[in-house]
Amino acid sequence: MFSMAKNALSRLQVRSIQQTMARQSHQKRAPDFHDKYGNAILASGATFCVALWTYVTTQIGIEWNLSPVGRITPKEWRDQ
């Protein structure tokens, strides 16, 4: 008898949870902070990152041509 009552109570709880979820899914929810400003913050952060790295890579004086072709001349061969 106890297990039958427990099973019935469990089914009632599941049904009430399902009904509550169904009611909540039909309600319109107000947009939160992330809905309002999420894409703008993501875009501004990406723009800032790209701008900063562009400035760093062009202004700190790194020579990006890593190929030694044309810069290194061979030394003369000496016979001993």
- The DSSP secondary structure of 30-48, one letter per residue, reads PP-HHHHHHHHHHHHHHHH
Tokens 């004086």 belong to residue? 61
**Distance (Å, rounded) from C-alpha 77 to C-alpha 15?**
93
Dmax (CA) for the chain in angstroms is: 109
**Distance (Å, rounded) from C-alpha 35 to C-alpha 28?**
14
Element (H, E) at 8: helix 2-26
pLDDT at res. 54: 93
Q: pTM of the predicted model, to two decimals? A: 0.44
Instruction: Give the domains, in start order, of the chain with CATH numbers.
Output: 1-60 (4.10.51.10)
pLDDT at res. 69: 72
Tokens 């009430």 belong to residue? 16
Q: Judge whether residue 12 has pLDDT over 60.
A: no
pLDDT at res. 49: 98
Q: What is the pLDDT of residues 13-68, one digit of tens each?
A: 666 766 776 666 666 678 888 889 999 999 999 999 999 999 998 888 777 666 76
